[in-house]
Amino acid sequence: MTDSFFLPDPDIPDPDDAFSSAPLRLTIDLGALADNWRDMARRSGKARAASVVKADAYGVGIEDAGQTLYHAGARDFFVAVPEEGVTLRPHAPEARIFVLSGVWPGTEHLFFEHDLVPVIASEEQLAFWMATVSEHGDHPCALHVDTGFNRLGLPLEEALHLAEDVSRPASFSPVLVLSHLACADDPASPMNRQQLEAFRSLSAAFEGIESSLAASAGTFLGSDYHFDLTRPGIALYGGEAVKGVANPMRPVVTAEARILQIREAKKGQVVSYGASHALSRDSRLAIVAAGYADGYLRNLSGHGVALRQTGLAGAQGFIAGHKVPIVGRITMDMTIFDVTDLPPDAIQAGDYIELFGTNMPVDDVARAAGTIGYELLTGLGLRYERRYLDAE
């Protein structure tokens, strides 16, 4: 009997080859994602920890992230729009999936067909949902109440009136009431306690119905804020949740870009658009295949953008054990790093610079642009080749 074997199909690219040759690439550590959820579940104490997977799971990929978090133990998920819930459903078959934007005419069939839970946030949505369930039959919903954020949610007074209204339809029986903290990333803010007290009155009014107030940062505020369900988001993906506190979460996403060229430039020569940066020494410059079209924000530039005129330094990359600064303006497809201080043989064209990740925390990079890690993660462009490191 002869041994049998399969020859690789030449028309199907090897994903490992695609990753190793890609101009831009992301390494996504699903094991770290699962560990971060377990960490937040532990910090949630007696409350259950949900998983927020909106915006394509903060850029990670909702299918892979959802499946990983479900296998880690998450049974409650939050998405922004019903289409995200439809995508998630096959990967979290027994989970409750809450849709934060609620339900609107033309989308109601998605909630029934895919067992999604609308989060009702206004009188208009409430009226429409009551009409919908009267026609299609009972279906769970949640109620979002504003406790001071002034963004989304039924006003607190109206929600309390609704809770006491004996004439409200029996079909309106929310499975969850929730609100959102405005300043949870600042533990010293008095706004946290003000919203907590308001939410306590809401939770008491809807006695017997589960309550949820804390997202990632709120979970770190302690057990007073946990209620029945916490809603960690950015912490799952390795981002900072609280200002001024060492981030305990494991990094999940590492973004890298290939060096297209290393060039020599003389002292006094200028770099990139606008000639905004003149070199103060003879320099070696690494031209890298990442730009603002890839979510590598223009405000990360070393020079020549409005934010830099405030005196803040631009961002850095990481290569060969060293941090290297951006010089000149970031362009649509390329960024220039000053690699003069690296040994001449330390790097070459084709090598990869880490834009953010295990050596360059995403929030440190974001601060250089005057923004937050959320924006870098959710703004990742379409040109990254992805490699997923499986959870155990």
Amino acid at the residue 268: G
Residue 243 designated active-site: no
Q: Which residues are annotated as a binding site for substrate?
A: 151, 332
DSSP annotation string for 47-109: SEE-EE-HHHHHTT-HHHHHHHHHHHT--EEEESSHHHHHHHGGGSTTSEEEETT---TTTHH
Considering only CA atoms, give the Rg of the chain: 24
List 243, 273, 323, 388, catalytic entry: 273
List 54, 70, 292, 388, catalytic entry: 54
Q: Which residues are annotated as a binding site?
A: 151, 332
Phi, psi of 116 (to 5 degrees): -105, 155
Q: Answer yes or no: are the C-beta atoms of 140 and 177 closer than 8 Å.
A: no
Residue the block writes with tokens 């990929």: 61
Q: Answer yes or no: are the C-beta atoms of 59 and 377 closer than 8 Å.
A: yes
At 123, is the secondary structure helix, strand, or coil? helix
Alpha carbon distance 251, 121 (integer Å): 33
Catalytic residues: 54, 273
